[in-house]
Amino acid sequence: AAAKDSDGVLHLAFDHSWTDYAGAGAADVRAVEAMGAALEGTGKPLVVSSGLVFAPGIVGTEEDPGDLGAAGAVRVAGEEATLALAGRGVRSSVLRLANSVHGRGDHGFVPRL
């Protein structure tokens, strides 16, 4: 109900515990589908974050689908579920975030290297 009453939804959550990564991908698809069902027919935006799902050495663009052979391929199903919502009256989009953030304060995985 909260999603339908909002101006739009940003879905930024994903379980990165690595204990059941395939299960985390399936849970992400269920979350996207639930938010999409709430927003269906409203024309409101749903922005879903994902990771970089390209194989090393490949320069990707916005037009490229995720590479199912890449380490982040478990996220592809969530991306596809998100984009499919456009046909159901949801302004859906996927934002692929870099897998590492570094710089002042070195947040993310960089400090562990």
Over residues 8-31, the pLDDT tens digits come to 999 999 988 788 988 999 999 999
Length of the chain measured in residues: 113
How far is the C-alpha of 21 from the C-alpha of 71, rounded, in Å?
11
Q: Which one, of 56, 53, 107, lies nearest residue 80 by Cα? A: 53
Selected residue with higher pLDDT from 73 and 71: 73
Question: Hey, where are the domains in the chain?
Answer: 2-112
- Within 8 A by CB and 6+ apart from 60, the residues are 52, 54
Ranking 6-20, 56-70, 99-113 by mean pLDDT, the lowest is 99-113
Report yes or no: 32 and 78 within 8 Å, Cβ to Cβ. yes
- pTM attached to this predicted model: 0.80
Output the 3-class SS for 7-72.
CCEEECCCCCCCCCHHHHHHHHHHHHHHHHHHHCCCCCEEEEEEECCCCCCCCCCCCCCCCCCCCC
